[in-house]
Structure 1
Amino acid sequence: MNLKTVIAGAILAGTITSAQAADYVIDDKGAHASINFSIKHLGYSWVVGRFNEFNGSFSYDEANPAASSVTVNIKPASVDSNHAERDKHLRSEDFLAVDKFPEAKFVSTAFTPADDGSAVLSGNLTLRGVTKPIDISVTKIGEGKDPWGGYRAGFRGTTELKLKEYGINFNLGPASESVYLNLNVEGIRQ
């Protein structure tokens, strides 16, 4: 086999692998996806909540998971901690500053699978006008046909954000310097 044949085969294999990647839209309208958060309250208990408005998409190829990509847009004003006064405070300048920064965004830069089926999704999160790289620990939940003739894939992710890195300096005490995100994503293949 000559060098030209090997190179042509490699190019063809790369083309075939790319063609197998599937694009998905996150099922945020069907209540099959969620962006949840938890933060310690003064070190005595946990405050939990979610963002009710977000959208996004991802590309995933089981044969080549490293080529996966994700984009998610979040409306910080949709924060919901099940307490109206606290939510009003979370939307203020002390925290999310939603009047100045009406959108948060995550754009992936790498997807690194591990041998145990987990992965690390790396990317840039923009929150309050500050963009920082983050890593999200990801587990694939499953994929397959749905009862309506479509095809779905689902993942779960977790990450920790340091509030001060995003310009959130409101002092809740040393036990409350980080917020933990739990992400549940179900996508509908396009």
Structure 2
Amino acid sequence: MKQPESFFLTPAFVTCIALAPVATVANAEPSTFEVDDEHFSMVFEIMHIGYAPVMGMFRKVEGEFVYDEDTQELISGKLAFKSKSVFTNHEKRDDHLTGKDFLNSDKFPDITFTVTSFEPTGESTGVVTGDLNMLGKTQPVDLDVALNKAAEYPIGHEEYTLGISAETTLKRSDWGMTYGLDPALVGDEVNLRFGFEAIKDSGWF
């Protein structure tokens, strides 16, 4: 299994990372799960001049986490988003987003989310709290998470895999990103939604 090049578990992500309880496994031990970058989607949404939301995504992410399925304990985790991989389907806007007014990608290439705690809220849901580092500033963020499926993959790699969804809302101004707030050209609140698969490390090298 490939190893992550670095840990921006960017800003994310948040990096997302998120995990909810799964069925108890006999004699289970903490396991490492690596985010499958081929099955990872993170969508952000932000209002433009009050008319309509602009939607975008980050196309490059790396991440892994350690989870004990028996005790339902999320021991550690990190997501790293490459800020220059932002995509909104508009080249000029994407260039602006990676510049100094927003993500300042040349100075801050990674956005990272590092897990600090996990609180189950239901049989397959929970809240992951972590530190989101963006533009050199770190703030706590809560992710509402849901475990969609935990099973051996039916095709391809056929490894044990978790399928996870997560979402949160944050204010970009909390990280010092204030361009367009006055006048209100670009909204402050950013809605984030994640969906990804994470493959269990078999321990074979």
Cα deviation, residue 62, structure 1 = 2.7
Amino acid at match of 2:50: G
2:98 matches 1:102: no
2:168 matches 1:155: no
2:84 matches 1:77: yes
What's the counterpart of residue 174 of structure 2? Answer: 165
Contact preservation (8 Å) 2:180, 2:186 = no
2:132 matches 1:125: yes
What's the counterpart of residue 12 of structure 1? Answer: none
**Over residues 125-164 of structure 1, what are the superposed CA-to-partner deviations in whole Å (9 max), with x where a residue is unaligned?**
0001111111000011111011233111011111112111
Cα deviation, residue 63, structure 1 = 2.3
1:20 to 29, 33, 40: 29
Aligned mates of 2:136, 2:26 — CA distance in 1: 36
Change (3 A) 1:75 1:84: same
Cα deviation, residue 68, structure 1 = 4.0
Instruction: Compare CA radii of gyration and give the structure with the larger one.
Output: 1
Change (3 A) 1:164 1:111: same
Gaps of 5+ in 2: 1-24
Change (3 A) 1:17 1:143: closer
2:197 matches 1:186: yes
TM-score by length of 1: 0.84
What's the counterpart of residue 38 of structure 1? Answer: 45
Aligned mates of 1:26, 1:78 — CA distance in 2: 17
The answer to which structure has the higher helix fraction is: 1
Provide the secondary structure at the position in 2 that maps to 1:85. Answer: helix
**Deviant stretches of 4+, over 6 Å:** none
2:98 matches 1:91: yes
Aligned mates of 1:33, 1:68 — CA distance in 2: 21
1:51 to 45, 49, 58: 58
Provide the secondary structure at the position in 1 that maps to 2:100. Answer: coil
Aligned pair count reads 173
Cα deviation, residue 189, structure 1 = 0.7
Cα deviation, residue 185, structure 1 = 2.0
CA RMSD of aligned residues (A): 2.0
Amino acid at match of 2:146: T
Provide the secondary structure at the position in 1 that maps to 2:73. Answer: helix
Once the two structures are aligned, what percentage of the paired residues are identical?
A: 34
